[in-house]
Structures are given as C-alpha cells and as structure tokens.
C-alpha cells in the first residue's frame, strides 16, 4: 500500500497512537484529517501541525458521526483512507461498579458501532478514490482478554471479528479496497493514565511498526509482543489467559 499522496481520516487523533500517526502521516500525504471530542486539543494541534484538518465531534453519538461524514464528503472528496483509531476504556470490577452497564454502552458505541457506522457512511467515497483502505485498530487482547477491561476486550474482539468478515465480503463483491487490522500490545500512551505496564512499548515504536506493516501490504498486523501472544493463545489458551491476568 502506498503511504504517500493520500487523504486520510484518523478518529481519536488528539493523543497517543492517533497523534503519532498524524505526525508521521502528514509528512508525505496530501491531507490528514483528525477528529476528537476536545476542540481545545484539536486547535492546539492545528497550531503545532498546520497541515492538519480538524473536526470536533463525539463519535459515540450517531448524529455526530453523520455530521462528520457529511463534512468530509463536502470538504474532502479525495478521502481514500479511513483509520478507526478512537477507543474508550474503563477499568472496573463488573460486579461492584453500579454504573457498569452505562460504561458498557459508551464503550460499545465508541469502539464498535462508531467504526462500523463510519465505514458504512464513507465507503462509497473511499471506493471512488485511488488507493482506498480501511484500517481498524484493535489489540492483542482479542486473543486473551484482561479481566480489568471487560468491555474494552469485548468491543475489540467484536471489531476484530467484523474486520475479518468485512474482508471476505470485500473479496466476494470484488471491491478494490484494502481492509487492514492493526493489533497493538500495551503501548505507553494516555490510555494507561500514567501507569503503563513494564511490558509497554513506546508509541513511536508502535507506529513505526504499524506503518511498515501497512507499507508491506499485510492485512493483519500484529505489533511487537502480539505476534507471540497470537501463537501462545492457540498452543496454550488457558495458560496465556491466566498469564495475561497476572501481568500488572
């Protein structure tokens, strides 16, 4: 896949992996568009990276997704790459947290329904342009979930499954568009709220490996330790599930 001369939309691009993707991709592409709930963060990033196009919205809300899609169709007709990066996570004890269901709803809206809806809304536009691709960001925890993140793991497993079926449907219908999934290990980002585990890799390493995988044409890119986790989850699923839930 060619990573130059594109028009790219990245959801959740104001921090962490999304922000690092923005910084790297603005170097050799026509336009990089980011959306985030924080308009203040977006404006600061626009000052830092003038080439960025910004749009403030909450993609967990259907009306905001519709507004984003219409704005893109009107102002950025050359869009050819969608990167579904935005995600929400809650660390909870399911049985003791009185707001567990509300947190589940918000995570499923942001992590699963939002990317599915945006793909549906923007697919005709993507398909109409050269070098089209959809990139869904998930996690190695789809292979062995962590109990502290009950909804996050479930949502990413759902997006992992959807991405696989989407790829088959693309092939069945002979659409010329790449469907890519990137599965991350623990990465030292604001996701961990300053308490990243010792096994976490840097955001720079994570994004560099991601872009190398995309450039090489891999449809499923397992970053760093996810490669090992993938094989261990098949060889010894009970062992690796226990191991994941002992890691601090």
Q: Going by C-beta distance under 8 Å and a sequence separation of 6 or more, which residues neighbour residue 169?
A: none
Measured distance CA(192)–CA(206) in Å, rounded: 15
User: Do the Cβ atoms of 84 and 135 come closer than 8 Å?
Assistant: yes
Here the tokens at position 146 are: 């962590």
- Would you give the DSSP letter of residue 206? H
Q: Of 200, 109, 193, 198, give the one whose Cα is nearest residue 151.
A: 109
Here the tokens at position 207 are: 């994004």
User: From the candidates 149, 152, 175, 230, which is the catalytic residue?
Assistant: 152
Catalytic residue list contains 152? yes
Tell me the DSSP string of 8-52.
EEEET-SSHHHHHHHHHHTTTSSEEEEEES-HHHHHHHHHHSTTE
Which residues are catalytically annotated? 152
């Amino acid at each position: 896949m060619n990573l130059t001369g594109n028009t790219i939309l990245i959801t959740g691009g104001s921090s962490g992996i999304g922000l690092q993707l923005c910084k790297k991709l603005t170097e050799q592409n026509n336009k990089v568009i980011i959306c985030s709930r924080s308009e203040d963060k977006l404006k600061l990033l626009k000052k830092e990276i003038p080439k960025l196009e910004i749009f403030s919205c909450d993609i967990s809300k259907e009306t905001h997704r519709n507004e984003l899609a219409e704005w893109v169709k009107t102002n950025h007709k050359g869009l050819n790459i969608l990167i579904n990066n935005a995600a929400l996570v809650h660390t909870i004890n399911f049985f003791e947290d009185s707001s567990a269901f509300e947190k589940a709803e918000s995570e499923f809206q942001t992590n699963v329904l939002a990317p599915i809806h945006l793909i549906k809304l923007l697919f005709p536009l993507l398909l109409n342009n050269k070098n089209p691709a959809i990139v869904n960001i998930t996690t190695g925890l789809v292979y062995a979930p962590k109990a502290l993140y009950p909804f996050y793991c479930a949502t990413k497993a759902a997006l992992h499954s959807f991405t696989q079926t989407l790829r088959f449907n693309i092939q069945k219908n002979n659409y010329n568009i790449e469907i890519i999934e990137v599965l991350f290990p623990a990465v030292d980002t604001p996701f961990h709220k300053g308490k990243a585990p010792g096994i976490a890799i840097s955001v720079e390493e994570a994004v560099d490996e991601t872009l190398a995988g995309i450039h090489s044409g891999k449809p499923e890119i397992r970053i760093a330790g996810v490669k090992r986790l993938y094989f261990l989850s098949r060889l010894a699923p009970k062992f690796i599930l226990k191991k994941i839930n002992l890691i601090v």
